[in-house]
Structures are given as C-alpha cells and as structure tokens.
Amino acid sequence: MKLQNLKQFEVNNKTQLKPMSSSQLKISHPSIYDIIHKDALRCCWRFAQILEKTKIDTRIIQCLFQEFFINTFTLYTDFISEYYQGLGTLFEMVMMHYLDLDKVAANFDKKLIHDENFEPCEQIAQFFSQDYNFVLSTSCNVMQKVLNETECKNETLINMSTDLYDVIKAKHINEYQLIKVERDMASISMLKYVIYCGLHIAPSYSLSVLLADAYLAMDVTQQLNFIADVIAISIKAYKSNDKHCIIQEPFESHNDPFGDAMDMFTNAFKNVFVEENYNFVKEKLLQKENNSILKWVVIGAVVFGVSAAVVKGLRK
C-alpha cells in the first residue's frame, strides 16, 4: 500500500539540498541526537509484517529511518532544538513510500546493526526508488506542513488535544459520556491522538497508511473532526465488544466511571485499530453522516503549494 496523498507534496527541486548527517547532528546537538536515536530504536515496528516477506530486519529500517529523518528535520535549523517524541512517525511512512526494499536487502551492510542497537548509515541515497534529492525535497514539504500547523510546540499540541475533546462532545455525545473526565486530564490523555491523526500509536500498517493519508489531506480543523470520528468508532466497538471486529482484550467494566474512562483512553484505539479490522474501520468511517474526509483521502483534494527551496531557515 502506498500513500496516495503524498503526490501533492512532490517537487522537482533543482537546488541540491545539503542536510546534516547523523554524525554532524551528534556533534552540533548531542542531546537532540540522543533523543532521536532512542526514538529510532523504538520505531518502524508497524512494518514488521511486510518486512517478514523480504527477510529484512526491522533494525535495518530503523537505521535507515534515523538518517532519513535527520536529513529532513535538520534542514529546518530554527526547529532542531524543538524536537519531540512522535514528530518522526509520519516520516516513517514517507520513507517507506520511496524505499526500494530489494535494494535494501541486496546492499545494506549488516555490520551496522546489532541486536540492541545500530550504527548510523550515512549513505542512504542508494536505497531509494527515486533520486534522493527529490525524495528529500518531498519529505521537506511534508515537514513544512507539520511546522505550519504546530511550530513544534507542545503548547499547540495540548491546545489541539483540548479542542479534540470539545469536538467529541459536540459530535459524539454518547461516547463523550464514557470518557468524561477533568479537562486537563482529558487533554493529556488525548495528546497521542492529535499527532498525525493517531498515527503515532497505530500498530497496523494498513491503517497507518489510511491515517497518514488522511493527515496529508487535511487542515487542523478537518483533522480534529476526523480524529473525533476515529475515537468514537474505537470507543463504541470496544465498549460493546463489537462482534464484527476483532478485540484481543475485551472491555470489562471497573464499576467506576473514572476507571472505565481511563480504560477507554488507553485501550479502545489499540484494540480496534489492528490489521484484522481494516475493512471494519474503513466502512465505519465512510458511514459517518456527511463525512467526506475519507473520500478526500482517496482523491487527495487538498493541495499544499509549498516548496522546499523557499522554506525559512532551510539549509541549501
């Protein structure tokens, strides 16, 4: 499965971009490098199913991803110190869209990876299906969308999380009643959902493609409405142990509204948004009254005319 809405971000940038490598970032911003490296060691597990067919170790993909993300993110020098956990999640999907797994299987130096860690691989252009400057320029356009919406500020994400709680109350009052807690606690609990429409916590590859495509096609207001639908579907299916989908850990009431609410925040999404439930989730999203968002995911209706060559603070 490929990202249909990534095409609107593609650009034939004639300027040869000059990003930092992992080793350069480690020298200039050692603490940021350490955080990104630790996050890279925890990422890309959603691709395990497709990698199994190619016999490529997930650690290899993590190694390539670290360099790809650092190449993208460090082109925005003004934001390097603002990195937060979850920022790179969308770029896992961007990288995999262009990565040539046959080239990876044939040419990656396995001496760089270990059971618990990996060494940086700084020559990654050879592993992509298209010219790396084209891929990197496209990735930069995606990063520009992210920065336009959040400026890499936690405060912005927390405000979005609070707004999301209000949208759920307005659109899905029954589900809202099941997760009705103090607003500050709700904002913290829902923070994981506003990062790329829940992509950060989605374990399913197919549903990750759906969520990433949705994010790429939407502005912030549309994202919040979409995520509200996603959460409502998850809560309803989890609470009722819907027989039409697979729920690995069925809901059991704590006989305590607060305990039940926290259970919903923690377990509803991860139980419903699994690979086996792809058709169930997609059908439910399409059934939402006046919900054209998923159709936008298919046709890519929202176009962002950004260019990696003119971004403020971009290294060229």
Residue 316 lies in a domain: no
DSSP-assigned letters across all residues of 53-114: HHT--HHHHHHHHHHHHHHHHTTBGGGGGG--TTTTHHHHHHHHHHB-HHHHHHH--GGGB-
Residue with tokens 């990698």: 51
Tell whether 203 and 244 lie within a shared domain: yes
Q: How many domains are contained in the chain?
A: 2
Element (H, E) at 304: none
Residue 312 lies in a domain: no
76 phi and psi angles, rounded to 5 deg: -105, 80
Distance CA 137, CA 128 (A): 13
Tell whether 170 and 148 lie within a shared domain: no
Tell whether 115 and 92 lie within a shared domain: yes
Is 311's pLDDT higher than 90?
no
Tell whether 95 and 202 lie within a shared domain: no
Tell whether 34 and 60 lie within a shared domain: yes
Confidence category of residue 171, pLDDT binned at 50, 70, 90: very high
In this prediction, residues 291-315 reach a mean pLDDT of 42
3-state helix, strand, coil in the chain (%, to 5): 65, 0, 30
Confidence category of residue 33, pLDDT binned at 50, 70, 90: very high
pLDDT of residue 308: 36
Distance CA 216, CA 214 (A): 6
| Angle of CA points 88, 297, 299, to nearest 5° | 130
Where does a domain end: 99, 133, 152? 152
Mean pLDDT estimate for the chain: 90
Q: How far is CA 87 from CA 9, 130, 147, 152, 200, in A?
A: 18, 24, 10, 8, 9
Q: Which long-range contacts (CB under 8 A, 24 or more apart) does 287-294 make?
A: 288/229, 291/229, 293/214, 293/217, 293/218, 293/222, 293/225, 293/226, 293/229, 294/214
Distance CA 251, CA 192 (A): 21
Q: Is the CB of residue 122 less than 8 Å from the CB of residue 63? A: no
Q: pLDDT tens, 55-89?
A: 899 999 999 999 999 999 999 999 999 999 999 99
Residue 23 lies in a domain: yes
pLDDT of residue 177: 95
Residue 279 lies in a domain: yes
pLDDT of residue 292: 53
Q: Which residues pair with 113 in a beta bridge?
A: 118
Where does a domain end: 129, 152, 175? 152
pLDDT of residue 285: 84
Residue 313 lies in a domain: no
Q: pLDDT tens, 221-236?
A: 999 999 999 999 999 9
Tell whether 12 and 143 lie within a shared domain: yes
3-state secondary structure of 118: strand
Tell whether 158 and 290 lie within a shared domain: yes
Q: pLDDT tens, 244-276?
A: 999 989 999 999 999 999 999 999 999 999 999
Residue 75 lies in a domain: yes
Print the domain residue range for 214.
154-299
Residues of the chain with pLDDT > 90: what percent? 80
Tell whether 28 and 133 lie within a shared domain: yes
Q: pLDDT tens, 190-203?
A: 999 999 999 999 98
Would residue 44 be called left, alpha or beta, if left means φ above 0 and alpha means ψ between -120 and 50 degrees?
left
Tell whether 162 and 284 lie within a shared domain: yes
Residue 304 lies in a domain: no
Query: Is 18 buried (19+), middle (13-18) or exposed (0-12) by CB count in 10 A?
Result: exposed
Q: Which residues pair with 128 in a beta bridge?
A: 99
Distance CA 62, CA 65 (A): 5
Tell whether 131 and 215 lie within a shared domain: no
Where does a domain end: 152, 169, 196? 152
Does the model's pTM come out above 0.75?
yes
Q: How far is CA 180 from CA 118, 188, 240, in A?
A: 43, 13, 18
User: H/E/C letters for each residue in 154-197?
Assistant: HHHHHHHHHHHHHHHHHHCHHHHHHCCCCHHHHHHHCHHHHCCC
Q: Which residues of 41-60 are buried (b: 16+ CB within 10 A; e: fewer)?
A: eebbebbeeebeeeebebbb
Would residue 166 be called left, alpha or beta, if left means φ above 0 and alpha means ψ between -120 and 50 degrees?
alpha
Tell whether 65 and 138 lie within a shared domain: yes
Residue 307 lies in a domain: no
- CATH number at 212 reads 1.10.472
In this prediction, residues 306-313 reach a mean pLDDT of 36
Tell whether 85 and 138 lie within a shared domain: yes
